[in-house]
């Protein structure tokens, strides 16, 4: 990877930590396995450490970058790929990723996501799940733990339930702090999310499911009877075969879908 341009410091407000470990970069590219007939989208390319490797192998690459000072650096660095490389200056949290889709192709999304926006950004991307073949993210290890957690795990909650509603979640490997400049204070991890072609548990109304899950986890230490009181009674939970005395992290995705379908029918 080329050295950091003189004068460009990683910005705390953008959550920037630039990946610099060549071994880790190669391992990430092997995990993604880009091909020359595929359209990739990279979120937060930074100084282009992964971008460079992606451009060598993929058919087309769109990048979304918030830091306007990085845009000219990226344009200059990758000017020779102008026929297949496009930069979109903007906030990925508000970006309409469907605009990047050509015909009915599936996009592959890649990103070293800033820790401070990773959860809302994943929720935003899940709204485009039908247009995405897969997603590979570098995230804080704790966020990957939450994405992959199963019912009963300490990390199980809203993020994991909604991610697993749309996607198969596969943690891949850990990335130590020293792989970055500046080094973050936490461990990172790579995760793969593959949107389902057919959902394992389809809710009648996904927005209702989101309300149920959010309400259930408002206060993790309280029971379902207490947390879901605004939506349904303990007796109604029992009718669905769910113990109202359980805490929310004990419920499976299938059971959350059952509650939301019951409310939709009601």
Q: Domain map of the chain by residue range?
A: 12-195, 206-265
> 235 φ, ψ to 5°?
-65, -40
12-195 and 206-265 have identical folds:
no
Class of domain 206-265 as given by CATH: mainly alpha
Res. 9: pLDDT tops 60: no
Distance CA 33, CA 243 (A): 45
- pLDDT of residue 99 exceeding 60, the answer is yes
pLDDT bin (cut points 50, 70, 90) of residue 184 is: confident
pLDDT tens readout for residues 47-71: 898 999 999 999 999 999 998 999 9
pLDDT band at residue 8 under the 50/70/90 scheme: low
CATH assignment of 12-195? Answer: 3.40.50.150
DSSP notation for 15-51: T--EE--HHHHHHHHHHH---TT-EEEEE--TTSHHH
Q: Which residues have a Cβ under 8 Å from the Cβ of 48 and sit 6 or more positions away? A: 2, 73, 74, 77, 78
pLDDT at 185: 86
Backbone φ/ψ region at 247: left (φ over 0), alpha (ψ -120 to 50), beta: beta
CA distances from 99 to 41, 202, 246 (A): 12, 26, 43
Q: What is the mean pLDDT of the chain?
A: 92
């Amino acid at each position: 990877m080329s050295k950091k341009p003189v004068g460009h410091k990683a910005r705390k407000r953008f959550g920037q930590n630039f990946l610099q470990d060549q071994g880790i970069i190669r391992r990430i590219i092997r995990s993604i396995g880009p091909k020359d007939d595929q359209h990739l989208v990279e979120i937060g390319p930074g100084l282009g450490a992964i971008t460079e490797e992606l451009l060598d192998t993929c058919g087309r690459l769109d990048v979304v970058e918030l830091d306007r000072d990085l845009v000219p650096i990226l344009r200059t660095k990758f000017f020779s790929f102008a026929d297949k490389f496009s930069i979109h200056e903007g906030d990925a949290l508000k970006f309409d990723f469907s605009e990047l889709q050509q015909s009915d192709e599936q996009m592959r999304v890649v990103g070293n996501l800033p820790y401070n926006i990773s959860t809302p950004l994943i929720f935003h991307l899940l709204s485009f799940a039908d247009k995405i073949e897969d997603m590979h993210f570098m995230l804080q290890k704790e966020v990957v733990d939450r994405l992959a957690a199963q019912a009963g795990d300490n990390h199980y909650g809203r993020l994991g339930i909604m991610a697993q509603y749309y996607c198969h979640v596969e943690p891949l490997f850990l990335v130590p702090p020293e792989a970055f400049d500046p080094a973050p204070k936490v461990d990172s991890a790579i995760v793969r999310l593959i949107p389902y072609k057919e959902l394992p548990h389809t809710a009648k109304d996904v927005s209702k499911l989101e309300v149920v899950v959010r309400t259930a986890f408002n206060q993790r230490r309280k029971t379902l009877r207490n947390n879901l009181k605004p939506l349904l009674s303990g007796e109604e939970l029992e009718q669905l075969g769910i113990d109202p005395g359980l805490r929310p992290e004990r419920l499976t995705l299938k059971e959350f879908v059952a509650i939301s379908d019951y409310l939709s029918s009601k």
